[in-house]
Amino acid sequence: MLITPDTELRRAVADDARALAEAVVRNREFMAPWEPYRAEEYYTEREQAARIAEPGGAMWLLFDRSSVGRVVGRVALNGIHLGPLCSANLGYWVDAEYRGRGLVPAAVEEVCRAARDELGLHRVEAGTLVDNVASQRVLAKCGFVRYGLAPKYLHINGEWRDHVLFQRLLHDEPPAYARP
């Protein structure tokens, strides 16, 4: 789907692995402060293909339509749990050159819609570094609510770092298995 006249969002497929690998290589330095340690393998087409196919996750990619095949961002749901939890963990980034255009909030809105309507989730959660104001702005724009602070929550860029935790509730219906 188009999220701006120039930007398309769609579920990632195996054939996107090369363009995705090119995007992570292009943004390697930009992303470093916000990311866990990445082995060299992470920057290869093979590893990105494995991540696209990873069970328990769902990935969407942003494409610049004026630059054919260029991946300019990624939004992913990881750790998808159904049962009585019906929840997943949200992650995202946009190419450094494409920041500040509202692309990630628009993509997150669409991913939350798919999480509810296609994946049957009740809740999406996200954690940001305490000083990641840009990411906190994205979550605020998308109706996420801060619900806690987790000390030393994730190992990011070489250190255990505190994270602010956010969630968005998507609906109030019972899980599919519990409906009459």
Residues engaged in binding ligand COA (CB under 6 A): 31, 34, 92-94, 99-105, 128, 132-135, 137-138, 141
Q: Nearer to ligand COA by C-beta: 155 or 171?
A: 155
Q: Which is nearer to ligand COA, 102 or 175 (CB)?
A: 102
Tokens encoding 73? 């961002």
132, two tokens: 């990641």
Q: Smaller CB distance to ligand COA: residue 82 or 154?
A: 154
Longest dimension (CA), the chain: 51
For the bound state, the minimum distance from the C-beta of residue 35 to ligand COA, rounded and expressed in Å, comes to: 8
- Judged by beta carbon, residue 17 or residue 62, the one nearer ligand COA is 62
Residue nearest to ligand COA (CB): 100
Half-sphere CA count of 118, side-chain side, radius 13 A: 9
**Shortest Cβ distance from residue 134 to ligand COA (Å)?**
3
Measured N-to-C along each axis, helices 103-117 and 133-141 cross at an angle, to the nearest 10 degrees, of 50
Report in angstroms how near the CB of residue 177 gets to ligand COA at its nearest.
Answer: 31
What's at 148, amino acid-wise?
Answer: G
Query: At what angle are helices 17-26 and 45-52 packed, to 10 degrees?
Result: 120
